[in-house]
Structure 1
Amino acid sequence: PPIPLPIRFADPLAFSPDGRLLATAYDDRTVQLWNIADPSRPRRLGAPLTGHKGYVNSLVFSPDGRTLASGSADGTIRLWNATDPGHAVLRGAPLRGHLGAVNVLAYSPDGHTLASGGDDNSVRLWDIEDPSKASEERSLTGHTEAVASLTFSRTGRTLASGGNDSTVRLWNVSDPSRAGAIGQSMSPNAKSGTFLAFSPNTHMLGVSSGTDTIRLWNLDVDDAARRVCTMTRGVLTPETWREYLPRLSYDPPCEP
């Protein structure tokens, strides 16, 4: 039978990449690490991690499993050295920048960038290649309400954010220090924060809005262009081109 752990329904948790560690958060604003190599016998590792002054809203392990990031209602992010999970310690000073609660965290696939979303409606990118010297690289604005979810594409070049403003935004984060929006926001017609996931090939974004609806967004531009051309084939004739674009040589975007 499953072994219950003493956490409430809304408390965040995170598995390490190798599945041997579990991090759980508690109402007393602490984080506990567990050895779950044998899931039938979970074992506490060390003392609870303390320091946050508000509830811990998000937990996430780095891709290499050596660092645990925690985001809190106190507006800070803490990076914990989990190399020796029985004696985890804080790496550097808490990260400050958000003007409200930190709701969600996400690591880039290469582990060099941490994205955070908060009640201040912003997405922030942090350079954590050296966790002990982490610093903010970029603040991304556009959401008009709290950011509730984040996910990186498999390549790490695109970040998707979902907000309580019922929109999803895509960001080009190929160079985090120069990150910016990709196109306009997408509205999943949600009434609350959204949950996001990229498909493995990055061409599809799944959006669950908490309204009994899941939407799939095709992000493959070439595929979208092929669909448009299929639906409009034969519409842009030389005669139509001359009528609307008389100063330009006939050059339809779709193959005849």
Structure 2
Amino acid sequence: MAIAPREAMGGHSNRVEAVAIAPDGKRAVSASSDKTLKLWDLETGTELATLTGHSWSVNAVAIAPDGFRAVSASMDKTLKLWDLERATELATLTGHSRGVNAVAIAPDGKRAVSASMDKTLKLWDLER
């Protein structure tokens, strides 16, 4: 059985690399090769904000359990912590020597783990 999409949400100028859904199921964040992230309203299918700051492709994104923060991972060797309510960057996390492929946030929302092409995992304190 084929299932058709309920909504098509376009807006990125290059391929979409990843998506994360907020715990309440009402919003999502997409990560793209166009160096941006987009915040989406899943009830209406509309774009709420574009998050800019990475200088290269954004490969991954994770939303914190509180639904108010997200962390993105990029080929620019950085991660960024975002305030989703204000659509602003809170911090840039540096330490990888190559592009970052993945990120996950701990269930308590206090820590994140990133995975990089530099063959390392890094643990980040999101409360500092």
Counterpart-to-counterpart distance in 2, 1:44 and 1:53: 21
Counterpart-to-counterpart distance in 2, 1:43 and 1:55: 21
Quote how far apart the aligned CAs of 1:153 are: 1.1
- Report 1:1-256 matches (<5 A): 3=1, 42-46=3-7, 48-84=8-44, 88-92=45-49, 94-128=50-84, 130=85, 133-173=86-126, 175=127, 178=128
Q: Which moved more, 1:70-79 or 1:150-159?
A: 150-159
Structure 1 residues without counterparts, runs of 5 or longer: 4-40, 179-256
**TM-score in terms of structure 2 length:** 0.94
Quote how far apart the aligned CAs of 1:42 are: 2.1
- SS state of the match for residue 49, structure 1? coil
Alignment size in residue pairs: 128
Q: Which runs of 4+ in 1 moved over 3 A?
A: none
Structure showing the higher strand proportion among its residues: 2
**TM-score in terms of structure 1 length:** 0.48
- SS state of the match for residue 6, structure 2? strand
- SS state of the match for residue 96, structure 2? coil
Structure with higher Rg: it is: 1
AA partner of residue 39 (structure 2): L
**Quick one: percent identity of the two aligned structures?**
31
AA partner of residue 6 (structure 2): L
Counterpart-to-counterpart distance in 1, 2:5 and 2:74: 30
Structure 2 residues without counterparts, runs of 5 or longer: none
RCO higher in 1 or 2 (8 Å CA, sep ≥ 6)? 2
Quote how far apart the aligned CAs of 1:43 are: 3.2
Quote how far apart the aligned CAs of 1:112 are: 1.3
Counterpart-to-counterpart distance in 2, 1:107 and 1:140: 16
